[in-house]
Structure 1
Amino acid sequence: MIDLEALPDPEVLKSIDHEEWLQNMIDRMVAESDALGITWDANVSSDPAMIQLELAAFYAMLFTSYVNEAARNQILAFSTGADLDHLASFYNLARLPGEDDTRLRVRIQLATIGGSVGGTKERFKSVAMGADIRVRDIATWRVGRDPTVNVAVLSTEIGGNASQSLLNIVQTALEAPGVKLVSDRYEVMSAVRQIVDVTIIVTLSPDAPASLLQELESHLVTARDAEVDLLGLDLTRAWITANAMLPGVSNIAVQLPASDVVAGSNEAIAIGTVTIVDGGRSR
């Protein structure tokens, strides 16, 4: 999909500078007055004509701003709220209960590039994300000539593990009339197929609070879960060290896992139990 945030900021109407706009209006006013044989002094700020020109320049700038904002809200990257709902309706999509603008934008993109019923990855992801707001991502693949479509579901819940109820919802959505091809069979599973326990020895700086040791447990789990592309992402010892080096931590020694844990392209690795060993204090 196209990264909407990487696109240049659109300029539907040319932005105007108030002072430049006002000066153009003053110059026009002087020229028109001269043509009628009237000498008009534009330097008198209390002149009623000058006041009117300043007001006109202000409202011209305000109107341009309103039009720009209204036009931008019809562009997917900037559309929000009800305007985004109307954009979604063009693709026969409706916002799910609790769904935020960012997720709905992703579904709109998927609907445009996965519109074919031919079984593209984007098509399957569009259907799965539209089935339940807890679907964060999916991976799809076939093995050899087997027509079975394997679908690994990554959940939005901490750790990413998809519950059986969520898997059932996705399976039902994929097998719905108008979605399922006659030749397709679906094997829906959780994308999280490895849960790795982590043990680290943490050395704090002399002035760091002791509570930092406890904070590290939840911090590592949350940091892992916040990774944008979690599917296929290895859990490396370097990743653990980098994410455990919070302000106040002077050193980290990873005991477990003993080596990097490799993820398959269609699976996610979740962090299980985090054990923090107090390594004392040092600069």
Structure 2
Amino acid sequence: MSNAIDLSQLPVPRIVENIDYESILAELLDDLAYRYPEFDVPAESDPIYKILEVAAYREMLVRQRVNEAARAVMLAYAEEEDLDNLGALFNVNRLQTDAGDPDAIPPVPPAFETNADFRRRILLSLEGLSTAGPEGAYIFHALSASGSVLDASATSPTPGDVVLTVLAREGNGTPTPELLETVDAAVSAEDVRPLTDHVIVQGVDIIEYTIDAALFFYPGPDSDVVLAEAQAEAQKYVDKQHRLGMDITLSGVYAALHRAGVQRVELESPTQTITVDRQQAAYCTAIAIANGGVDE
């Protein structure tokens, strides 16, 4: 079991404050009354009130900027270039997942791993410093071997044997022989693999499934808009769950499909939770959502 901290369970930092415009404005009005007791509380139409509204709004922006600056130096919250700079502290770079095509019209820029994937590797990098062969170290080196690796797991069925399962980023996740060779070379380096470990690098076992459902709507909202939102949320769910050992739960599918304005969801597929072990990954081959019409 990896010892990486679950960042989602950390409390909200105290330095990040809740900002309320009305509270700031009230403080400014109180300050004005303290400094000038003879000055009556201005009406909202008074120019001085408008000036204080502007000041309160500007202070709110400054406080929000302080919040953003604080989050930018925290691994749990940093994104994009801020996260890249945090990764440099751990000697971990963001991996390129697609080279793009500079000769295309218009040119296609290169693609890089997501903030979530990069953040996970940064966390695992500390375990990667060990040469004792912990699970997190093998996962870190497998993920860092190539931007084409989406996920990896390490298990030890017998003492001395390590089975490293690789999920590819392309297609349904089945890795190519070349990718498996790349990962094998990375985890077999002398400064990575303990001499007593026998490492077996294998491809993932893909479990394919489809989502077939009909949505019924309350009268009023534009059903096409809600249908499109449900389609997008379902896609987000299947993409998030396309990892090793991540189950496809009926509750998760229903939560993705049951958008505001949906009266009920009739789910044809899947019919039960798809249980996935650490050497497997679920892959959705199609999402078909039908408009069942209006039903009060």
What's the TM-score, normalizing by structure 1? 0.65
Residue 62 of structure 1 aligns with which residue?
Answer: 61
User: Does the 8 A contact of 1:26 with 1:53 survive in 2?
Assistant: yes
Distance 2:52 2:274 in 1: 70
Residue 132 of structure 1 aligns with which residue?
Answer: 146
Q: What secondary structure does 2:165 align onto?
A: strand
Given residue 57 of structure 2, which amino acid in structure 1 is its aligned partner? F
Given residue 160 of structure 1, which amino acid in structure 2 is its aligned partner? G
Q: What secondary structure does 1:162 align onto?
A: coil
| Correspondence for 1:18 among 13, 18, 21 | 21
Distance 2:59 2:67 in 1: 12
Q: Out of 162-171 and 174-183, give the one that drifted further.
A: 174-183
How big is the shift at 1:253?
11
Change (3 A) 1:67 1:232: closer
Change (3 A) 1:66 1:226: closer
Structure 2 matches for 1:144-183, cutoff 5 A? Answer: 144-145=158-159, 147-183=160-196
User: Does the 8 A contact of 1:114 with 1:126 survive in 2?
Assistant: yes
Q: Out of 25-34 and 40-49, give the one that drifted further.
A: 40-49
Q: What is the number of residues matched between the two proteins? A: 239
Given residue 67 of structure 1, which amino acid in structure 2 is its aligned partner? V
Q: What secondary structure does 1:154 align onto?
A: strand
How big is the shift at 1:142?
3.3
Distance 1:253 1:46 in 2: 60
What's the TM-score, normalizing by structure 2? 0.63
User: Does the 8 A contact of 2:242 with 2:282 survive in 1?
Assistant: no
Change (3 A) 1:27 1:82: same
How big is the shift at 1:31?
2.4
How big is the shift at 1:108?
1.4
How big is the shift at 1:262?
8.7
Distance 2:33 2:237 in 1: 64
**Structure 2, unaligned stretches of length 5 or more?**
97-111, 215-235, 258-263, 287-296
Percent identity of equivalent pairs: 29
Distance 1:186 1:73 in 2: 38
User: Does the 8 A contact of 1:17 with 1:61 survive in 2?
Assistant: yes
Q: What secondary structure does 1:160 align onto?
A: coil
How big is the shift at 1:90?
1.1
Change (3 A) 1:10 1:130: same
Change (3 A) 1:271 1:9: closer
Distance 2:91 2:43 in 1: 59
What is the alpha-carbon root mean square deviation over aligned residues? 4.4
* Rg comparison, structure with higher value: 1
Residue 267 of structure 1 aligns with which residue?
Answer: 279
